[in-house]
Amino acid sequence: MQKILTLHTDRRSGLYDITSEVVALIKASRINSGLASVYARGSTAAIMIQENWDQSVQNDVVTLMNKLVPSGIWEHDHQDNNGDSHLKAGIIGPSETIPIINGNPGLSTWQNIFFCEFDGPRERREVVVTIIEDK
């Protein structure tokens, strides 16, 4: 089963919790055991599993990436001024694979799935969710 989730983002950089949408697809698949691949389409976005308790961790991820990868100093900035966005997305990576255990995502209590925006705001971002059964 494969579905495309869409979302819009409202700032240049930020983490957006997409856990409930992914859980709904896993439930709809009726698969008891398997894998869910969550993949961000776009070279300036990423997927990260991260703590969901408090917004501070999400803010800290953005702060970390801004410290690691300052803007405005990259060769690619001459093309479309978002060299840092591509590098941040590349470091985190475009996808995560989540085990499906007894029909539920095998996330711990404090793990959620986040879409990471590094070149927003965007009207439409796409996340491909592919669910495969373990037979």
Which residues are near Zn ion by CB under 5 A? 80, 82
**With respect to Zn ion, which residue has the nearer C-beta, 8 or 76?**
76
Angle of helix 83-92 versus helix 55-68 axis, rounded to 10: 120
d(CA 61, CA 91): 12
CB 124, min distance to Zn ion, A: 17
Q: Return the amino acid letter for 123.
A: E
CB 83, min distance to Zn ion, A: 7
Which tokens is 103 given? 């029909």
For residues 53 and 101, is the Cβ–Cβ distance under 8 A? no
**With respect to Zn ion, which residue has the nearer C-beta, 34 or 83?**
83
**With respect to Zn ion, which residue has the nearer C-beta, 10 or 80?**
80
CB 79, min distance to Zn ion, A: 6
CB 80, min distance to Zn ion, A: 4
**With respect to Zn ion, which residue has the nearer C-beta, 11 or 76?**
76
The sheet carrying 95-101 orders its strands as 2-9, 122-133, 34-41, 95-101, 104-105
